[in-house]
Structures are given as C-alpha cells and as structure tokens.
Amino acid sequence: MEKRIQIPNTDLSLYPIGLGTVDAGLKWEGLDADRIIGTYLEQGGNVIDTAHVYSDWVPGERARSERVVGDWLSRSKKRSQIVLITKGGHPDMTRPNPDLHESRLSHKDMLEDLDGSLKQLRTDYIDLYFYHRDDEKQSVEEEIDTMEEFVRAGKIRYYGCSNWTPKRMQEADAYCARKGYRGFVADQSLFNLGMKYMNPLADDTLGYMKGQALQYHIDNPKNLAMPYMGNCSGFFHIFEAKGEEALRENPYYTPKNVEVAHRIRELRGKYDCSLTQVILGFFFCQPFACVPLYGSSGPERIIDACRTLEVPFTAEDYKKLLGD
C-alpha cells in the first residue's frame, strides 16, 4: 500500500502507522527512545503521538511522555521530519480518585495545557493538536473558536478531536463550514480488531468508532480516523502466549473473540505473517483511511509492525476473520 496518507485540504502527509508514546518515561526513555524512535523513522515513519496527560496517573512526574519526546527532539534535531501530535483537556489524573467526568475543556484549561505541552516538547508549534475529551455542556462554537485562536497564534497548525460523538463532530463541521475554517482534520477514538465483540471498558468517556461513527468516517474523509488501542491492549498476543486462563478478567475476553483468536492462526498461515501484522492489517482494509497508533517498547517490534504495509490483506480476509 501507499506509504503516505494525505489529509485532504492540508499539507499533512502521514505514514500509515503512528508511533504511540503512552509508555514513554515509564518503560523507555533516553537511549531506548533513540532506538525506538530512530527505528520508526528508518522504516519511513513520521507521526509521533503523545498527550499532556501521559502518564500523570503514575505519581512523581507530570507530562512524562511529552518530556521524553521533547528530549528526543532536542537531541536528534529532527523536528522538521516529524508530524508532532499531542492532546489537551483531559481530566486531572493526579488526584487520588480522578473524576473522568470533570471537564477541563475551558479556554483557560486548554491554553494552560497547550503552553505546558510546548514547554515539555521544546517546540514552538504542534502540527496536530487534539481535544482529548469533549464537554457537551460547552458549545462546539466555543471549542472550535479556541482552537482557531491557537492556529492564529502560531502555536498549532491543525486540530482534531478525540472521544467525540459523530453528532458533535457533525455540528463542529457545520460551524466550520459557515465560518470558512478547515476544522477537524483527525479523530482519535477506540477502534481495533477485537472491539466488535469486546465488553465495554470501565471508562465511559471513551469514544468507540462504531455504528454512526464508522459511517461518519466513510462520509467525511477530510476527518482522518486515527484509532487508539490498535493492538487490542495485547489481548490476542496474551492469548497466543498464555492461553485463556490469563485473560479471564480482560474486557476483550468473550467467546466470539476467542473464536477470532483461533481464526487468526489461519490468516497468519495464509500470508506467512506475524500476529501483530494481522492485528494492524485490519485498519488498512476499512472503507476509509486509517492511521492507527501503535506503541512499542522495542525496535524489533517497530520493524515487525511497519512491515504490515507489505502484506496484501483484503477486506474479505477480515470479514471471514470476524465471522461476518
């Protein structure tokens, strides 16, 4: 497949797999970051995704991931080669009992997060900046106007949304059309091979790319789908390595996903490919463009993931895999 995805009406040309960095500062940094990010770039990658909240749920340091990415940007001098993504407005995760329903999407909150991100990342601008959540008590006009202010200030180039409903995205699109704004260029929501049959996650503020959300992306190619949790939180890898007993409490553990896990072996045999490649190949057989986010703790896994683009999976493969 093509090794770049051009977002319509932008100058953003993205490698089809983005490098997720939620584990930066927890599982890797420094020389390991050089190896992981360096390997990703060697494969042709150019999308680095982080968030101001990563990983505030672990005490001791705020915005770890951005700091690690910023360290790498400073050392490597490769800022111009990267489409840099970060997100703001997530509920405060440093409290003993974080309230995921407590909105932090006011203009003041977003400006504070954005300025903090620029400082941590040691850059003058963000290529693609996301609302990490939505607050339906605020108007889309207010939220879009905040992002447009950041664009005019030169702090961000483009903006997107994460965990928004299709209805709210459509309202935002309509407002941007009236005002002559480019509007959202990307949407990050949960979407993966195991989602169809999984149990709902405990966090009900997450957005799922299904039903009307899938149709939204079919109808609106100018808003690129950038799925997170693309690796199904390791469910299929754990199943392969340890079996069902290791997964009894896993939200992906359902009878249907166990069937999928068994059928994956057949698809691997058909293409002589890896488990990771089957899982990521799902995204490139959708009726709309996807740039899934993939996080890894080792260069060899980055290489394996990027080689997914060389496997000629078909939509029919995944219909059979999912029992459609």
pLDDT at 324: 79
pLDDT at 3: 86
Q: How far apart are CA 8 and CA 10, in angstroms?
A: 6
For residue 218, is pLDDT > 90?
A: yes
* Mean predicted confidence (pLDDT) in 17-31: 97
**Cα-flanking dihedrals φ and ψ of residue 161, to 5°?**
-130, 155
pLDDT-above-70 percentage for the chain:
100
Taking alpha carbons only, the member of 251, 226, 213, 197 closest to residue 20 is 226
* Mean predicted confidence (pLDDT) in 202-211: 96
pLDDT at 296: 86
- A 10 A CB-CB count for 282 gives 25
Domains of the chain: 5-233+279-313 (3.20.20.100)
For residue 2, is pLDDT > 80?
A: no
pLDDT at 52: 98
Q: How far apart are CA 175 and CA 159, in angstroms?
A: 15
* Mean predicted confidence (pLDDT) in 143-161: 98
Counting every residue written for the chain, the total comes to 324
pLDDT at 301: 96
pLDDT at 177: 98
pLDDT-above-90 percentage for the chain:
98
121 SS3 class: helix
**Cα-flanking dihedrals φ and ψ of residue 132, to 5°?**
-80, -25
**Cα-flanking dihedrals φ and ψ of residue 162, to 5°?**
-135, 130
**Cα-flanking dihedrals φ and ψ of residue 196, to 5°?**
-55, -40
pLDDT at 297: 81
Coarse DSSP helix, strand, coil percentages of the chain, rounded to the nearest 5 percent: 45, 15, 40
AA identity, residue 307: R
Per-residue burial over 89-101, b = 16 or more CB atoms within 10 Å of its CB, e = otherwise: bbbeeeeeeeeee
CB 280 within 8 A of CB 264: no
Taking alpha carbons only, the member of 301, 237, 276, 308 closest to residue 35 is 301
- What's the mean per-residue pLDDT of the chain? 97
Burial class (CB in 10 A: 0-12, 13-18, 19+), 301: middle
The per-residue pLDDT for range 289-304, each reduced to its tens digit, is: 999 999 988 999 999 9
For residue 1, is pLDDT > 80?
A: no
AA identity, residue 194: G
* Mean predicted confidence (pLDDT) in 80-97: 96
